Structure 1
């Protein structure tokens, strides 16, 4: 008798800012889009892993990615490397934690009349053993297809106080699944030691497998308010190619809650069966710089380094040099992260406290908390190479066929010099073409646009001058990327 096919929908939860991995991870370019392990970003790794779950009884459908409106073009840019993966993006106008995010995906999954099994993972984890990951997830899919909620557990290798725990009970089923007895909050060190010694407690990986209708039914039972508010916002969604935008006003009414608190922790002993399958695949959530050191390629002295580095009498240290030479002598157990505009030096054992630095940046309203010096945009990128009193210098690259918005500035003028490629410049009612070594001036308050109509990249140097040089001094009139209401270039 032929096996019945199980249709699955991969769901990537790509929210969060990754503040503990500052200064590489920032709100405008958070950690899931960084290459911290291997050659692909964490988001790309997660997307690729879930695309390889097919089996004789499992069919992989379209991937659903829940992300922030601000990060939509980062997602699309990183998806371009996966030509065989079809994906839609559910764009949250603001963060509401993981329960509403998963609910958006479930509502989209059932909107066509189907009821697939959702395979849900955060976008910021690493897995070293792909074969073991695939096997565990396929077993989870088969269990979830019967109506159970399945959570992936990680066997602890140390008393970790930064993770939640799951207690299993009973005997393993035919797909290696156990019943979940209870969930435990992040413990203190002594409690974590007792959990590890018991053998019954596993780390909560944050990965779930559940049929879409089961999630919606469980949410209705435990948190009907979240379901109702999310359904209201989703029912008023606007679709724009791959983008699905819930109504922003209605979305703001959704209570903020995690998947665990909203549903999972309430399932043991309820009418909703919840199972756990152990994942032994070299898993790490890369929550802080110490975790990045742990998964990195260590030298004979336990150092993990990338970029231009010279190391002498140094041990057990993580060094990431992005823009210049970083040298160390006689240090141990440090984290040293160098970027174009910020340097972090921290005791590796205190890497969780990097988020306190970000809190200070927030309170001081410093741009380093949000953007790197080099900023990706849907049309290309810009790099702020110098800033002084009443001037700012940028290096700007525009992709072939792309253009910036038709815009004006109320507090600054701009000088543009073409250093590579050909620029089409709109300035007021005139349109001119500039080639290499040619320049133009954009007066304060003049409507203008920069476009690359050629087949090669366009690069210009922009010199801004004026009383205020912030990125929010912009009035847009036309834009190819739906950013008329946004306040950045």
Structure 2
């Protein structure tokens, strides 16, 4: 039995505006109807795999659990990292959690990659299993088909053969164009896919040998951690003492028994809009589209609209990426796709909210989005999922009107509890303690109209919250 460990952190700033700090790319349906994270979970849903162990941050714990449950994976174990510490502490912590069975194999994978050939991927995993059983730390790489400068590389001792392991000579950083062309010509390099397979005992021993300073903080984070609404919350003080370092730097570049297995069949880390363009299989003119898009006399371009009511039209474009969302639009030269993260840095420096905030704000009870915002009013659309309960709260600076447009809401206003059905509304005066819940089996939607002198989300005094938020 193989234990999948899914690394579910990161912000994916190169895919702005679709991926942002508040809603990173792994939770977005960038390719197909399911999120990249859900596609990753499906990859490990077969009989040879144990329930997944998911390493994620505080802000994404409910989203990770909810999207897993939507696939029927209610037994997925979600571990909350209280602070980001890169991949080495995350992988070590996962191994220590699984240490009751030191012979167990763990397969570590990012949550935001695409693998088009699932049978080929599973064959590669099977090929690496024997080496892992013999004590090797196994990494997976992709045979390059172009001189890519956006990936790290694995230097092999011999040319790779599909379905076989090969000794690894070194890890190479992202190269310049000339070096990438040399790597491609040599035939002994693979793109580093960041996927690993090993026995629990072997990877813990590797940490004790090559990164011993990480072991005590990670053990303390588990020992002092606690169960929290079905999650395992690592201790913040213990985990915070671990050095932020990647698994490649901390372990793989130092370990002696390291092997690589070639991965074939449509792998991509979707690390840029250029990678999305490639994954979407451009037409004969090199044009790929997603959403309500019209491309007229365009070539070598990717056009994407994420709003049903927003038609994106490209006319005479060449070598362009255009991504349209409700609150932000990116238009970029496709050759500069790797530089989109600089856009986010510029927006953050200018304190532009769209740098990190997402137009739809996800909460453990559902989501909300702003439809209209004025100086003293705001109109929101709110979805409360079945069983969702907003906190018992009050506001110091605003009053609210709620109009149910689909479903039935259980509304608490002061001491009064009532059911509000479709086409009915209620008024919550400023300062009044109130709550809303969906006790039904279908999502409930309402329109909220706020009026007042201050409409920020921090104008909330919480008295009770089933989700244990502050």
TM-score calculated relative to the size of structure 2: 0.95
Q: Which residue of the other structure, out of 252, 256, 264, is the alignment partner of 1:264?
A: 252
Q: CA deviation at 1:171?
A: 8.0
Q: Quote the residue 2:233 is aligned against.
A: 245
Question: CA 1:50/1:331 → structure 2, altered by over 3 Å: closer, same or farther?
Answer: same
Matches within 5 A, 1:204-243: 204-240=192-228, 242-243=230-231
CA distance in 2, matches of 1:40, 1:479: 30
**2:295–2:315: 8 Å Cα contact kept in structure 1?**
yes
**In the alignment, is residue 104 of structure 1 matched against residue 93 of structure 2?**
yes
**In the alignment, is residue 296 of structure 1 matched against residue 280 of structure 2?**
yes
**1:418–1:436: 8 Å Cα contact kept in structure 2?**
yes
**In the alignment, is residue 14 of structure 1 matched against residue 12 of structure 2?**
no
Question: CA 1:345/1:114 → structure 2, altered by over 3 Å: closer, same or farther?
Answer: same
CA distance in 1, matches of 2:141, 2:382: 46
Question: CA 1:424/1:263 → structure 2, altered by over 3 Å: closer, same or farther?
Answer: same
Q: Quote the residue 1:64 is aligned against.
A: 53
Question: CA 1:442/1:174 → structure 2, altered by over 3 Å: closer, same or farther?
Answer: closer
Cα displacement string for residues 468-487 of structure 1 (whole angstroms, at most 9, x for unaligned residues): 2222222222112222x1xx
CA distance in 1, matches of 2:159, 2:356: 48
**1:337–1:343: 8 Å Cα contact kept in structure 2?**
yes
Secondary structure, in 3 states, of the residue corresponding to 2:323?
Answer: strand
CA distance in 2, matches of 1:421, 1:61: 38
Question: CA 1:482/1:127 → structure 2, altered by over 3 Å: closer, same or farther?
Answer: same
Question: CA 1:175/1:318 → structure 2, altered by over 3 Å: closer, same or farther?
Answer: closer
Q: Quote the residue 1:4 is aligned against.
A: none
Q: CA deviation at 1:45?
A: 1.5
Q: Quote the residue 1:138 is aligned against.
A: 126
Question: CA 1:149/1:456 → structure 2, altered by over 3 Å: closer, same or farther?
Answer: closer
Secondary structure, in 3 states, of the residue corresponding to 1:39?
Answer: coil
**2:395–2:430: 8 Å Cα contact kept in structure 1?**
yes
**2:88–2:247: 8 Å Cα contact kept in structure 1?**
yes
Question: CA 1:166/1:405 → structure 2, altered by over 3 Å: closer, same or farther?
Answer: same
**In the alignment, is residue 388 of structure 1 matched against residue 388 of structure 2?**
no
CA distance in 1, matches of 2:456, 2:281: 40
Q: CA deviation at 1:249?
A: 2.3
Q: Quote the residue 2:64 is aligned against.
A: 75
CA distance in 2, matches of 1:172, 1:191: 19
CA distance in 2, matches of 1:173, 1:125: 23
Question: CA 1:171/1:154 → structure 2, altered by over 3 Å: closer, same or farther?
Answer: closer
Q: CA deviation at 1:336?
A: 0.7
**1:309–1:327: 8 Å Cα contact kept in structure 2?**
yes
Cα displacement string for residues 49-103 of structure 1 (whole angstroms, at most 9, x for unaligned residues): 1233x5xxxx422211111111112112211233267310111112110111111
**In the alignment, is residue 305 of structure 1 matched against residue 294 of structure 2?**
no
Question: CA 1:81/1:142 → structure 2, altered by over 3 Å: closer, same or farther?
Answer: farther
**2:384–2:438: 8 Å Cα contact kept in structure 1?**
yes
Q: Quote the residue 1:44 is aligned against.
A: 38
**In the alignment, is residue 417 of structure 1 matched against residue 403 of structure 2?**
yes
Question: CA 1:361/1:172 → structure 2, altered by over 3 Å: closer, same or farther?
Answer: closer
CA distance in 2, matches of 1:164, 1:413: 53
Q: Quote the residue 1:90 is aligned against.
A: 79
Matches within 5 A, 1:360-371: 360-371=346-357
Secondary structure, in 3 states, of the residue corresponding to 1:89?
Answer: strand
**2:229–2:467: 8 Å Cα contact kept in structure 1?**
no
**In the alignment, is residue 317 of structure 1 matched against residue 301 of structure 2?**
yes
Secondary structure, in 3 states, of the residue corresponding to 2:107?
Answer: strand
Secondary structure, in 3 states, of the residue corresponding to 2:146?
Answer: coil
Secondary structure, in 3 states, of the residue corresponding to 1:263?
Answer: helix
Question: CA 1:84/1:438 → structure 2, altered by over 3 Å: closer, same or farther?
Answer: closer
**1:65–1:89: 8 Å Cα contact kept in structure 2?**
yes
Q: CA deviation at 1:174?
A: 11
Q: CA deviation at 1:448?
A: 1.1
Q: CA deviation at 1:160?
A: 1.5
Cα displacement string for residues 365-416 of structure 1 (whole angstroms, at most 9, x for unaligned residues): 3332233222222222212100111211101121233211111222222121
CA distance in 1, matches of 2:125, 2:442: 43
Q: Which residue of the other structure, out of 370, 375, 379, is the alignment partner of 2:365?
A: 379
**1:87–1:242: 8 Å Cα contact kept in structure 2?**
no
Secondary structure, in 3 states, of the residue corresponding to 2:98?
Answer: helix
Question: CA 1:176/1:147 → structure 2, altered by over 3 Å: closer, same or farther?
Answer: same
CA distance in 1, matches of 2:257, 2:416: 68
Q: Quote the residue 1:148 is aligned against.
A: 136
CA distance in 2, matches of 1:283, 1:332: 26
Q: CA deviation at 1:175?
A: 6.2
Structure 2: runs of 5+ lacking an equivalent? none
**1:51–1:85: 8 Å Cα contact kept in structure 2?**
no
Q: Which residue of the other structure, out of 432, 446, 461, is the alignment partner of 2:432?
A: 446
Structure 1: runs of 5+ lacking an equivalent? 1-6
Q: Quote the residue 2:413 is aligned against.
A: 427
**1:390–1:465: 8 Å Cα contact kept in structure 2?**
yes
